[in-house]
Structure 1
């Protein structure tokens, strides 16, 4: 699948990302939140992270959201705009605050990791279909959304349903499931994420997320059977890598299936299990921090999609962009230069498997693959 669209139309950008961003407070040293004496300010938000990384990779992007009419809102708009993202459609709310959160240092997967969110009643939770500029949201070749927005409020869920509803001229909808269990203690529950994913064109989901949110075992074929509609389904498998199912695969009568494309329906009886269109093993990485890696993977995959690259190369670009985030502190890291990423993504399977990436690898000189390769 290649993204099409006129780049000459007024106000059209490569990617529009809609969702909440928060000011993040990162600890000055390891330890419990109760023991950390000071914090450094940063920014964090799944959708704005994708927009920032794509802008740094040379794409035109827009972030649409709602922030408070406060200093933290000022900081978010200025910081995200500083990456080259269009922030002119971010609304300011005089009555609700910008969300913030604090976290401990180290890997999020650790037992001692703590995150304290202060986002209830935030400005972003008041986003509605009537309160955002839908024309600006839809004026992208790709519209990137995540399941986090759906969990913020009933109005936000209605907005997500409006944006994923089928309609003529709808942009390509990219949806990262981003299941956050703590956000679904009230309301309809994470089952609505399956509904939204089935309405999207490109879906990113982790095996662990699928089991936690929907009770679907992590087998990628089981996930494709549960999600036959998206043209592209990317299943992330952690340290093992990722697989992608393409539009040629799956169930007759679904969007992108053989009947919908004019093919011959399969022989009656039990259909064969869906098979991935492509796979890519994860890279060996000397991890500095895990925050933002999933958003970076989505950005790398979408960048390669916008360029019309084959699905396997899209997965590899996702891994490479994620590796840039994993080898840098904070939620955001500059992606590798396009020439370097293209060269590494084109390696044969043996050379790809030998790569080991550490801090600073994105600054490797032109042609210096050995600088990022295990001896």
Structure 2
């Protein structure tokens, strides 16, 4: 199965009118990372950058040579300006970003721990992005894209955000976009039961659904990739891709399935952002017309890159850095 066959394909005239490869929207926060390891109570010096699943994917895709539009609301404050400028500086189209003078830009902190995943502390309640409503996503911002990329973080932020997700799906369906959904479950934002009900409803409307293994279990109550895939296909997806961490990923369609091995990483520096890197790599392979298994393999490669550098987006490679082996990239650099 070729990647471009996995979802609705516009006719040739429609394709020529589309100037954006991917459109995505969601909350991006200012990220403070301590320069030291250990409890935050002892940290005195921090680095300031940004982090957010959707903007992570947008930045990674631009570095891989694609055009991406990111839509969001930011506080009309210094952090909001910094966030917009950072993402715009990476080459992402931020023309649809709006500023809110009543609600702030969210922030979060990482707590570094030697040899373990960092703890993350969010301060996002009442943020500008949580105030998103359907009227903040306009039809002209969606219709000129090939893919709508969504995550399950956005509907967890507020009822208005959940309505906005469904509104964007309706617009994407009207204009025959491929809809890609990464559940990206954040249990600090809601319960497993709430997540399951809302995200399965969203997944039913999407062409590609790509959870992690634990997320797939939360959604389907199944523990094996093959069974998770079958439930999500029955629910409405055309393609299911399940991220398996160091083991790679598993993909399944109505007539094809397979495991794709991951790439070994000698030293994991920071695991946050690796799943978003996988999503960007997979979407890049899809947009290049690669077979489904090769698109998944590219996702594994980009995810491996992300593990080697501290920060949410700092580890994503440019296409020119991929050290191509034949016509496929090599994870080493």
Q: Same fold (TM over 0.5)?
A: yes
Matched, 1:288 2:269: yes
Question: May I ask how many residue pairs the two structures share in their alignment?
Answer: 320
Matched, 1:225 2:227: no
* Partner residue of 2:297 out of 316, 321, 342: 316
Distance 2:182 2:205 in 1: 12
1:1-375 aligned within 5 A: 1-2=3-4, 4-5=9-10, 6=14, 8-9=16-17, 12-106=19-113, 110=117, 113-165=118-170, 167-185=173-191, 188-211=194-217, 213-214=218-219, 216-228=221-233, 229-246=236-253, 248-249=254-255, 277-286=257-266, 287-332=268-313, 333-335=315-317, 337=319, 340=322, 343=325, 346=328, 361-362=332-333
Q: Is residue 240–residue 251 contact of structure 2 (8 Å, CA) maintained in 1?
A: yes
Give the SS at the match of 2:42: coil
Distance 1:80 1:311 in 2: 29
Instruction: Please report how far the alpha carbon of residue 134 of structure 1 lies from its aligned counterpart in structure 2 after TM superposition.
Output: 3.2
Which shows bigger deviation, 223-232 or 66-75?
A: 223-232
- The verdict on how the C-alpha distance between 1:92 and 1:336 changes in structure 2, with shifts beyond 3 A counting, is closer
- The verdict on how the C-alpha distance between 1:322 and 1:299 changes in structure 2, with shifts beyond 3 A counting, is same
Distance 1:193 1:109 in 2: 29
Instruction: Please report how far the alpha carbon of residue 106 of structure 1 lies from its aligned counterpart in structure 2 after TM superposition.
Output: 4.0
Distance 2:323 2:227 in 1: 32
Distance 2:157 2:326 in 1: 39
Per-residue Cα deviation, 1:228-262 (whole angstroms, up to 9, x for no partner): 1212110111221101112x43xxxxxxxxxxxxx
Q: RMSD over aligned Cα, in angstroms?
A: 2.3
Per-residue Cα deviation, 1:24-78 (whole angstroms, up to 9, x for no partner): 0001110101111121101000001101011111101110010000000001100
Q: Is residue 279–residue 315 contact of structure 1 (8 Å, CA) maintained in 2?
A: no
Question: Relative contact order (C-alpha < 8 Å, sep 6+): which is higher?
Answer: 2
- The verdict on how the C-alpha distance between 1:345 and 1:153 changes in structure 2, with shifts beyond 3 A counting, is farther
Per-residue Cα deviation, 1:321-364 (whole angstroms, up to 9, x for no partner): 111111111111232536846527759xxxxxxx8x5xxx33xx
- The verdict on how the C-alpha distance between 1:35 and 1:340 changes in structure 2, with shifts beyond 3 A counting, is closer
Instruction: Please report how far the alpha carbon of residue 188 of structure 1 lies from its aligned counterpart in structure 2 after TM superposition.
Output: 4.1
Equivalent residue for 1:263? none
Gapped regions of structure 1 (runs ≥ 5)? 250-275, 348-354, 363-375
- The verdict on how the C-alpha distance between 1:56 and 1:107 changes in structure 2, with shifts beyond 3 A counting, is farther
Q: TM-score, normalised by structure 1?
A: 0.79
Distance 1:158 1:108 in 2: 40
Equivalent residue for 1:372? none
Q: Is residue 207–residue 239 contact of structure 2 (8 Å, CA) maintained in 1?
A: yes
- The verdict on how the C-alpha distance between 1:126 and 1:186 changes in structure 2, with shifts beyond 3 A counting, is farther
Q: Is residue 216–residue 242 contact of structure 2 (8 Å, CA) maintained in 1?
A: no
Q: Is residue 236–residue 243 contact of structure 1 (8 Å, CA) maintained in 2?
A: yes
Give 1 or 2 for the bigger CA radius of gyration: 1
Q: Is residue 29–residue 105 contact of structure 2 (8 Å, CA) maintained in 1?
A: yes
Q: Is residue 63–residue 318 contact of structure 2 (8 Å, CA) maintained in 1?
A: no
Gapped regions of structure 2 (runs ≥ 5)? none
Per-residue Cα deviation, 1:290-330 (whole angstroms, up to 9, x for no partner): 11100000000000000110011111100111111111111
Distance 2:316 2:272 in 1: 14
